[in-house]
Each structure stands twice: as C-alpha cells, then as structure tokens.
Amino acid sequence: MGNNSVKRLSYRLLNSEEVAIELEELPHATKSRPDNQDLIRYIDKLILSGKALKSLQVIEQFLPELVARDPELHLEILTLEFLELVRKNEPLEALEFAKTQLAEYKNKSVMLRKPGKGEDLQLSVLEVLGVLCYNQPLESDLGYLLDSTQRQKVSDTFNLKAGYIDTSRSYLCSLSRILCCLKKKKKFK
C-alpha cells in the first residue's frame, strides 16, 4: 500500500450516515486498546448489514484476542454467514461454507433469536444446517432462522463481548439487552 493510496472501509447506513475507517489508521488506533469505538461500530455495521464473514475478518485482523477468548462469538458469526447465504438463495455456496467452516462445530450449540418475541434459543449447529433440507427455506419450520433478527442477535453478542454500548441507542435499552444476554448465557451453562 503506497503513501498516496489509503484503503477505506465504509458502510452506508439506511439514514444516509456514512461510517468510514481508514485501514492505515486502524493499527495505530487499536494497538493500545482493542475497544476502539470506530472499529467496533464498523464491525457492528457489517454484522447488521449481513456481511458476517467480512466482520469476522476485521475482528480477526484487529481484535484477535476477542475471538480467541470467545469461541462462541466466532461460531455465531460463522452461523450468521451460513444463514445469509441461505437467505440469498445460494444453497450450493451455503453447503460448501457449511462443509469448510461449520463442520468442526457439528456437535456444538449456538444461540439464535426467535423473531417477534425477542427470546433466544439454543440450537445445535446440525439443526441450523437443516434449513438447507427445504425447497423453500423461508417458508419452512426453520424459516425464522433466516429473519434479520439473527443479525441483531449477533450484533448484541458482539457488542457485549467487545464491551461497547452504542450511545445512539437508549441507555436503558442497551442495558436491558446486556442483562438479557447475561441471564440467558448463565442459564445455558
């Protein structure tokens, strides 16, 4: 990367706000503290926009200790990427992704969110992969897994693990989400 070329990672929000991070600045910003708010906000936006694999790459590059200390977050992000591929109607890519990225987790469980009620469920990875068994996955019994609430669930988990509370959300809402995540995590261990 030359001095004149600066790579930018940017995400355009629905309300036309743009968040951009200069890659050359990130190593300096994250060396002292891994909880750099711009970086965490950017990763959160990637997750919420359905770019789970890209978010994982950024986490692994700039916050590797987060993935190392929390393999459940890693699994949730990989599961979200699989569900995004199914949602985009790319079953062959989803199957290949499952073989290469999720096969080692076949005996593990992952927390997912049931839309509407906001309650989290613990499902085995094999149960999640079952969404590929349907001709119309969105209309199947597992169709709720393809709802965008999964993005919010992974975003909530990431923000909790990264120790970040977005100040644009109400403080009470953020606090209640954190408490719910902690309560459910404690219940399932």
Strands (DSSP E) along the chain, which ranges? 8-12, 18-22, 109-114, 119-124
How many other C-beta atoms are found inside a 10 Å radius of the C-beta of residue 88?
Answer: 12
From the CA atom positions of the chain, what is the Rg in Å?
A: 17
Which is more confident, 20 or 63? 63
d(CA 96, CA 76): 18
Question: Across all residues in the chain, what is the average pLDDT?
Answer: 77
d(CA 69, CA 11): 27
- pLDDT tens-digit profile of 85-137? 999 999 999 999 999 999 999 899 999 888 777 788 899 999 999 999 999 99
